[in-house]
Amino acid sequence: MPRDLPPDALPAPDNAIEIDGLTKTYRGRFGQKEKRALKGVSLSVPRGSFFGLLGPNGAGKSTLINIMAGLVTKTAGTVRIWGADIDRDERGARLAIGVVPQELNLDPFFTPRELLEVQAGLYGVPKAERRTDEILALVGLSDKADAYARTLSGGMRRRLLVAKAMVHAPPILVLDEPTAGVDIELRQQLWEQVKELNRRGTTILLTTHYLEEAQELCDRIAIINHGDVVACEPKDTLLKRLDNKALHVTVREALTAVPPALAALAPELVEPRKLVFRFKPSETVMGEILEALRRAELSVVDLSTEEADLEDIFLQLTSSAAAAGGTSKDAARA
Ligand SMILES: Nc1ncnc2c1ncn2[C@@H]1O[C@H](COP(=O)(O)OP(=O)(O)OP(=O)(O)O)[C@@H](O)[C@H]1O
């Protein structure tokens, strides 16, 4: 694929990716029913963001990524990548994006250096502009530059795929479940490298099942379920959505029932000396609970709080979408 403009010479749009009303229906074959994998997805990925696309198995994440990568044909809707419409300027869209696929599909008889050189050739990157050694260093594979790919560990292969997606210096990097099967240490290394790319300005779109990773890495998160977007917000807004906190209190006195003075707060007596108060921080301040405990003449021995995390939100949103028959807007408003 010849390349006219280095991606950094392209005008920088506000949104690295803009998806509007995207639908995909896989035709049923061999008597199977057709499958609506995407049901009118609209999403914007701001330039420079670290964007997480979360969803359970079969939600439609790979379909979405494969449409962006030009591997799957959409049924309807528009997709603009770095300002290039995938229907009208397919090449512009392809040049602006580097995709790290889920499968470790590498030619075993190429070395990392050869692989990156071949890939650079495919994208028409002139020899003088190739950054093979720099990219290998960035993904921590300098010392394996001349080893056959088949001798690399799973984690190294994964990092090589990241390197391969970067040879044409795309301003957007898409990672489809990049840490599946990668051990914890290598996962951390990979994340550090991807974070560094993001700090240097690359927009990252990541799909993952690991909620805690999305929580740690991403600044914006979209949740997709049954082909619908059920949430798309800055991470902090999403985390604030669950207005729920739990206060765990250990008291000196052994209780057999919740004292009447606490009844209005409806705590749960989980053990004779342990009470759990669930409350909405927007409505109840913790001081009110402590004051009620004092009125009930209980001596507090220990206190700890528990905040909602992304996992809670994820479960809440995906289950409410299922209950609502999977309609995105209703679920997102719920
Ligand atoms: N080529 C295909 N033909 C028919 N149905 C398909 C095809 N590819 C995907 N599907 C279906 O479309 C839906 C979305 O699949 P997709 O792979 O996009 O989900 P996903 O969110 O990426 O899941 P996973 O995390 O398991 O990869 C699923 O129900 C899947 O079975």
DSSP string, 255-322: -SS--GGGGGG--EEEETTEEEEEE-TTT--HHHHHHHHHHTT--EEEEEEEE--HHHHHHHHHHHHH
Test site for ligand 1: of 62, 174, 228, most ligand atoms within 8 A of the Cβ:
62
Cα of 322 from ligand 1 centre, angstroms: 17
Cα of 59 from ligand 1 centre, angstroms: 7
Cα of 24 from ligand 1 centre, angstroms: 10
Express each pLDDT in 64-111 by its tens digit: 999 999 989 999 999 999 999 999 999 999 999 999 888 777 888 899
What pLDDT shows up at residue 210?
75
Residues of the chain with confidence (pLDDT) below 50: 1-6, 325-334
Using CB distances shorter than 6 Å, the residues near ligand 1 are 26, 35, 37, 55, 57-63
pTM of the model: 0.77
Cα of 227 from ligand 1 centre, angstroms: 10
CA distance 71 to 90: 12
Q: How far is CA 87 from CA 20, 32, 42, 54, 172, in A?
A: 13, 29, 17, 26, 18
Closest by CA position to 275, among listed 297, 254, 295 = 254
What pLDDT shows up at residue 10?
55
What pLDDT shows up at residue 321?
56
What pLDDT shows up at residue 323?
56
Contact of 206 with 51, CB cutoff 8 Å:
yes
- Indicate the pairing of strand 228-234 with strand 172-176: unpaired
Residue with CA at minimum distance from ligand 1 atom 29: 58
CA distance 330 to 77: 21
Within 8 A by CB and 6+ apart from 201, the residues are 48, 171
Closest by CA position to 136, among listed 172, 100, 104, 163 = 163
Cα of 209 from ligand 1 centre, angstroms: 15
Q: Which domains does the chain carry? A: 7-239 (3.40.50.300), 243-307 (3.30.70.1150)
CA distance 191 to 197: 10
Q: How far is CA 68 from CA 17, 42, 54, 176, in A?
A: 9, 13, 17, 12
Residue with CA at minimum distance from ligand 1 atom 30: 58
**What percent helix, strand, coil does the chain show, rounded to 5?**
35, 25, 35
> What value does the CA radius of gyration of the chain take, rounded to a whole number of Å?
25
What pLDDT shows up at residue 247?
93
Express each pLDDT in 254-275 by its tens digit: 999 999 999 999 999 999 999 9
Nearest atom within ligand 1 for CA of residue 102: 27
Burial 146-184 (b: 16+ CB within 10 A, else e): eeebeebeebbbbbbbbbbbbbbbbbbbbbbbbbeebee
Which amino acid is it at 138?
L
